[in-house]
Amino acid sequence: MSVARVAVGMVELHLPDVDSLKGKRQVLKGLKERVRTRFEVSVAEVDHHDRWQRATLAVACVSHDSRHANEVVSKAIDFIEANVDGRIIDVSLEIL
């Protein structure tokens, strides 16, 4: 029996051009959809729900191979960094 591996990446963002929670939701919705579609991962906002200019996204990938899961999540995080209209405050990656 094979064991499933889960890679979870966390990306904390600062969104300086956002001036409302509605604006933040619009920015994140498009970004999350592009990441989901391109990398076939799960993406969710997991922290800073009530702050306009801050967000933390979690990206998760399940695979039979921990290296594959790590690679997919790393590429998804790189994509977020390259496509977010803001700056990255912190990034972490963990294999479970």
Mean pLDDT of the region 48-60: 95
Q: Alpha-carbon distance 41 to 39, whole Å?
A: 6
Q: Is the pLDDT of residue 86 over 70?
A: yes
Q: Which domain holds residue 30?
A: 5-95
H/E element holding 77?
A: helix 66-83
**Residue 52 main-chain phi, psi, to 5 deg:** -65, -45
Model pLDDT, residue 2: 73
59 CA to centre of own chain: 4
pTM of the complete model: 0.91
How many domains is the chain partitioned into structurally? 1
**31 vs 44: CA distance, rounded Å:** 11
Write the CATH number for 83.
3.30.70.1120
CA distance 21 to 25: 6
